[in-house]
């Protein structure tokens, strides 16, 4: 787009003219959490911590289980020739299986003096201390930059407010001198000077308004929320169908159980059902002959 085509680009939304005051503690916490360099440095500290753990493990004795199996072949030649008097070849001796050996055991190793392990441990501690010092220095620098950005917001707003009242005062002065000039009570030079002063105060007000918007932007940049301030959102795209299925299976496998104890379901049946016992007495399990013991006893009593 050419710079001299007569087009003028301006924001759609009006500039912020009100006072904006951010909470210092929450802003500092957001800056120490969302800044990229802080997160990268924290991962560096985590890596040095794991290296320190590995260096400490190197000072302990090691016990290894070893196993080995060999199938050897020896001979004067690699392959037998066509000569009548040919010596044994390596392949012939190898496939015969005469020389086989195996080895199994435990190997215990303990470094005497711990010179190498001690040097590695000291180096790991030094690297960890250096990364932690860099992290603390980065956090201190970010807090200072955020504090400076906050002071810039307050200073820019105060200057913008002063220029606004100055602009209003110059506008009232121009209106008064305009009335006096039209009434023939004043010279035009005073009116021209007042209009010139009004134009200067108006330009100063708009400059201070722009500086105030830039101060707000710088504060969000130092806080690490510049994308949210510009309404820019980043989201991960859709996955493949197999990825969703695999994630669901892994989630079901890794999900904690709701109950730690095994539950036994209650019985859904008490045995075979006797229709003749309905309404007469409680249903009892039937025997192999098909009559419940309680019903048989009752029938015998009635016969007697």
Averaged confidence pLDDT in the chain = 81
Whether residues 177 and 76 share a domain: the answer is: no
Identify the band that residue 304 occupies on the pLDDT scale cut at 50, 70 and 90.
very low
pLDDT cut 70: percent of the chain above it:
80
pLDDT digits (tens, 9 = 90+) for 126-158: 999 999 999 999 999 999 999 999 999 999 999
pLDDT attached to residue 276: 59
Query: Quick check: is 259 in a domain?
Result: no
Residue recorded with tokens 């906050």: 150
Per DSSP, helices labelled H in the chain are 24-34, 36-57, 90-96, 115-182, 188-223, 226-229, 241-254, 293-303
Distance CA 139, CA 166 (A): 41
Distance CA 279, CA 31 (A): 78
Helix (H) or strand (E) segment spanning residue 99: strand 99-109
Whether residues 69 and 178 share a domain: the answer is: no
Q: Are 17 and 90 in contact (CB under 8 A)?
A: no
Distance CA 237, CA 55 (A): 41
Whether residues 68 and 57 share a domain: the answer is: no
Query: Quick check: is 171 in a domain?
Result: yes
Both tokens of residue 300? 């015998």
The mean pLDDT value for 94-114 works out to: 84
According to DSSP, the residues that pair with 67 across neighbouring strands are 104
pLDDT digits (tens, 9 = 90+) for 205-259: 999 999 999 999 999 999 988 888 888 887 777 778 888 888 888 888 777 766 5
pLDDT attached to residue 270: 64
Query: Quick check: is 176 in a domain?
Result: yes
Whether residues 144 and 186 share a domain: the answer is: yes
pLDDT attached to residue 272: 67
Residue recorded with tokens 């000072």: 59
pLDDT digits (tens, 9 = 90+) for 253-298: 777 766 555 555 566 556 665 655 555 444 444 444 444 444 444 4
Distance CA 160, CA 139 (A): 31
pLDDT digits (tens, 9 = 90+) for 39-72: 999 999 999 999 999 999 888 888 899 999 988 8
Whether residues 74 and 206 share a domain: the answer is: no
Query: Domain range holding 72?
Result: 64-80+87-107
Distance CA 191, CA 268 (A): 103
Distance CA 136, CA 92 (A): 71
Whether residues 199 and 180 share a domain: the answer is: yes
Domain boundary pick from 202, 223, 244? 223
Query: Quick check: is 93 in a domain?
Result: yes
- pTM comes to 0.60
pLDDT digits (tens, 9 = 90+) for 13-40: 889 888 999 999 999 999 999 898 999 9
SS3 46: helix
Domains held by the chain: number: 2
**Distance of alpha carbon 268 from the chain centroid:** 50
Whether residues 216 and 181 share a domain: the answer is: yes
Whether residues 126 and 196 share a domain: the answer is: yes
Both tokens of residue 274? 């006797």
Domain boundary pick from 167, 198, 223? 223
pLDDT attached to residue 258: 65
Distance CA 114, CA 59 (A): 7
Query: Quick check: is 48 in a domain?
Result: yes
More confident residue, 110 or 219: 219
Whether residues 41 and 118 share a domain: the answer is: yes
Whether residues 123 and 94 share a domain: the answer is: no
Whether residues 182 and 169 share a domain: the answer is: yes
Whether residues 73 and 200 share a domain: the answer is: no
The mean pLDDT value for 112-120 works out to: 85
Domain boundary pick from 194, 223, 252? 223
- The domain that holds 207 is classified in CATH as 1.20.1600.10
According to DSSP, the residues that pair with 102 across neighbouring strands are 69
Residues 6+ positions from 193 with CB-CB distance below 8 Å: none
pLDDT attached to residue 294: 45
């Amino acid at each position: 787009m050419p710079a001299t085509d007569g087009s003028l680009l301006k924001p759609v939304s009006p500039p912020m003219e009100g006072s904006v005051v951010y909470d210092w503690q929450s802003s500092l916490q957001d800056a120490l959490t969302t800044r990229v360099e802080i997160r990268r440095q924290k991962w560096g500290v985590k890596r040095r911590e794991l290296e320190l753990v590995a260096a400490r493990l190197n000072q302990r004795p090691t016990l290894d289980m070893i196993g080995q199996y060999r199938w050897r072949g020896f001979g004067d030649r690699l392959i037998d020739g066509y000569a009548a008097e040919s010596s044994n070849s390596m392949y012939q001796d190898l496939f015969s299986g005469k020389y086989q050996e195996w080895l199994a055991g435990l190997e215990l190793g303990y470094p005497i003096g711990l010179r190498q392990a001690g040097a590695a441990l000291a180096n790991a501690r030094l690297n960890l201390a250096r990364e932690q010092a860099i992290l603390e220095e980065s956090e201190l620098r970010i807090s200072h930059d955020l504090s400076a950005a906050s002071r810039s917001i307050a200073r820019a707003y105060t200057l913008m407010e002063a220029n606004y009242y100055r602009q209003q005062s110059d506008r009232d002065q121009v209106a008064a001198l305009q009335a006096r000039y039209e009434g023939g009570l004043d010279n035009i030079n005073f009116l021209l000077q007042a209009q010139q002063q009004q134009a200067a105060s108006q330009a100063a007000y708009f400059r201070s308004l722009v500086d105030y918007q830039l101060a707000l932007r710088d504060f969000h940049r130092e806080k690490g929320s510049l994308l949210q301030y510009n309404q820019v959102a980043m989201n991960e795209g859709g996955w493949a169908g197999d990825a969703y299925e695999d994630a669901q299976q892994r989630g079901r496998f890794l999900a904690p159980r709701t109950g730690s104890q095994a539950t036994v379901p209650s019985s859904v049946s008490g045995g075979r059902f006797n229709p003749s016992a309905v309404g007469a007495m409680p249903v009892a399990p039937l025997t192999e002959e098909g009559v419940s013991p309680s019903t048989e006893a009752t029938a015998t009593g009635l016969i007697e």
